[in-house]
Structure 1
Amino acid sequence: MTPKLIAIAGGTGTIGSWIVRALHTSPLYKPIILSRAISTHSSNTSDTTTIASSTDPSTKETYEIETRYVDYTSIDSLTTSLTGIHAVISALLIPSEKMIEYQLNLLNASIAAGVTRFAPSEFALSQEVHKQVDIDYAKIVVWDAVRAAVQRGDIDAAAFPCGMFMNYLAVGFAEGESERRRKSALAGFSEGALMFHPSPGEGGAPWVEVPLTEEGSFPDVTMTDIRDIGKFIVAALGIEEPWGGRELGMAGETRNMVETITIMQEVLVEDVEVRTITRKELQQRLDGLAQSDILPRIDVQYTMACGRGGSVVEGVLNRLCSEVKPVTVREFMEEAWGR
């Protein structure tokens, strides 16, 4: 059987590269990376990109993947590059108005090229929660267009929320062999800490900021390892029934923050300081930030969303694709910090 071609927009990024790795291991699919044209590679040309099989520096295995260079501002250019493609998975990360333009062009080019399935860049919160985060308005615009295309019968599509990246639990600092394992668990994730601060090497005890619910309790949080996202996407491609413009959520594990903190303490063999914060206090923190403070505002708004239950994602793919066994919080913590 000839493998189906799957194009990954942003396939060299953190999430995209793990989708590429997962597709590479399946005999049913062949990944194609879409990358923005540059001075050395004009649009509608192709080359090969070397992908490491793991972010663990002790693992030297690599493989070559075809890269097609595209002009995301041109639907015609994208349509040409998508000839013969079965599905397009977007993992683009462009925090600007171009995120809308690029993804809508990618959607329309997919339709023009006869692509069967499309997934916009998601891999975070559920659609309803995007209304609580300023920068996520772009995702709402794109998803509305995607659903409209599905309703017209132009293409099949789905969004793939995954909750909070479990890899936040590996942010910090360690030494020697522990540092190697921590970096491997990060899986290329390079963002700063958010709510969870597990590193015992930062000059104090590990700590967690807990956004309290309206009732004053600890919220539940869905966390998924970035490395498992690719596995879920491969499994989703094998679903025979239409994606149908649905949110096909994936969940590494959903736990109350009390349980996660307990696991942190057991693995780190150290008390974890708990710092609770109310909605009112978070709002005051947000009000103290300028509109230009984009990243700090995102952190506060995501934390606020978590306190409202917005970090919980229904594991639709967990039910539909039971062959995928995602990493649990305890397994991840033991990998990153286990002694």
Structure 2
Amino acid sequence: MPAFKNIAVVGGTSTIGQALIKNLLTTKGEFDAVILLTRDPESKASKELAALGAETRKIPSELSAEAIPALAESLKGVDALVSVIGAAGVSDQVHLIHASVQAGIKRFFPSEFGIDLDLHAPSIPFVGAKVPIRQLLRSQGIASKLEHTFVENGYFLEGFFSPFFNWQISGTSVAVDIAGTGDVPVTVTHQADVARYLAEILRSDPAISRNKTLKFEGDRFTWNQARELVSNAVIHVPGVKTSFSTTYTSVENLEKRLETAQGHEWVQVQLLLATTRGQGLLSHNHNKLFPNLKPTSAKEYVAGLVV
């Protein structure tokens, strides 16, 4: 039986959050409680998760320092808290951490789910907000009271093959603009698989993940290999006319764009540049910890995009 019996998820209506909660609820009675911490218990997603057996607890709309007492109250009885908060709320996890300490939580999983922060965060401003969260969790004052687990998975598989990464895939019509030369490998993992790995960590011996960084990898490829995967999938649609165009944007042009980029473009260009520098590739992975979990391959995912 799992050592963590009461699991709470904040950001639980996100893609990973919903998949994680549903996974934890698969076997009735495995956990004493699977708790959705939500600002809106009446939302459609919250109600759907509650109908499956999740307990819902309302939390303040702003995760501010003033909200720490209320957050701590919401976290009473929780053994492990998994944060799947979006990028805009990453800094607010400071207050979640302090509330977790007040509530006596054993383990905190911050919202990371990306590249190797210790290696690459200094050169990628977009992920910089995650660094103070790691530092706080590793600090003596917090680490002596609250365990942590960091989870890295490279890029999301769905995100890589999306317009945000310069892919336009519509049936058998495909266009892609490749960053750099397209020869540098990158790690990708499907969000559903990230949720599955999180669930297995919560079910496993806590010592396996206590105060550690665990890396999970769904697949790895270069831009050019990804292009080939999509091309092959399109070609194999019988009796259908296909179109496929490929362009390349140099590192120099991307760096020039970054000088004036704002908002979503500022994020996009940084992530594209990271793929050209090898910063999107995990040095190793811990997939063998859970050998029965077979993550979605890029080939499998791409096949579903061009049907």
Q: Fold-level match, TM-score > 0.5?
A: yes
TM-score by length of 1: 0.77
1:153 is the counterpart of 2:154:
no
Matches of 2:304 and 2:143 in 1, distance apart? 46
Higher helix share: 2
More off after superposition, 6-15 vs 126-135: 126-135
d(CA) in 1 for partners of 2:141 and 2:115?
21
Q: Is the 8 A contact 1:118 1:158 kept in 2?
A: yes
Q: 1:52 to 1:322 in 2, by over 3 A?
A: same
CA distance in 2, matches of 1:323, 1:104: 35
Give the Å deviation of 1:11: 0.5
Q: Residue 279 of structure 2 aligns with which residue?
A: 310
CA positional deviation for 1:271: 5.7
Kept in 2, the 8 Å contact 1:9–1:35? The answer is yes
TM-score, normalised by the number of residues in structure 2: 0.84
Contact 1:157–1:244 under 8 Å retained in 2? yes
- Do structure 1's residue 51 and structure 2's residue 29 form an aligned pair? no
Determine the C-alpha separation between the residues in 2 that align with 1:147 and 1:322.
29
Runs of 4 or more above 6 Å deviation:
none
Q: How does 1:11-50 map to 2 (within 5 A)?
A: 11-27=12-28, 28-29=30-31, 30-36=33-39, 49-50=46-47
Q: CA deviation at 1:326?
A: 0.6
CA spacing shift, 1:299–1:217, aligned 2, 3 Å: closer
Partners of 1:288 and 1:104 in 2: how far apart? 30
Find the aligned partners of 1:246 and 1:303 in 2 and give their Cα distance. 28
The structural deviation recorded for 1:336 is 2.9
CA RMSD in angstroms, aligned pairs only: 2.7
Deviations 1:213-244 (A, max 9, x none): xxx56111111111111110011123322524
Contact 1:210 1:218 survives alignment (8 Å): no
Quick one: structure 1 residues 92 and 247, their matched pair in 2 at CA, closer, same or farther if it must change by over 3 Å? same
What SS is found at the alignment partner of 1:302? Answer: helix
- Secondary structure at the residue paired with 1:193? helix
Deviations along 1:178-219, whole A, 9 cap, x unmatched? xxxxxxxxxxxxxx4313333357xxx51222222xxx5611
The offset of 1:163, in angstroms, is: 1.4
Report the equivalent of 2:294: 325
CA distance in 2, matches of 1:159, 1:280: 33
**1:51–1:64: 8 Å Cα contact kept in structure 2?**
no
Distance 1:236 1:167, change over 3 A: same
CA deviation vs aligned residue, 1:136-169 (integer Å, no higher than 9, x gap): 2211111111122588422221111211111136
Structure 1 position 70 matched with structure 2 position 59? yes
CA deviation vs aligned residue, 1:92-117 (integer Å, no higher than 9, x gap): 1152xx531x2011111212222111
Residue 210 of structure 1 pairs with residue 178 of structure 2: yes
With over 3 angstroms needed to count, the CA separation of the structure-2 counterparts of 1:152 and 1:92, relative to structure 1, is: closer
Give 1:123 deviation, angstroms.
Answer: 1.3
Query: In structure 2, do the counterparts of structure 1 residues 260 and 51 end up closer, same or farther at CA, with 3 Å as the change threshold?
Result: same
Query: Structure 1 residues 327-336 or 268-277, which shifts more?
Result: 268-277
**Residue segments in structure 1 that go unaligned for 5+ positions in a row:** 42-47, 54-61, 172-191
The residue aligned with 1:232 is 197
Partner SS for 1:334: helix
Matched letter for residue 193 of structure 1: F
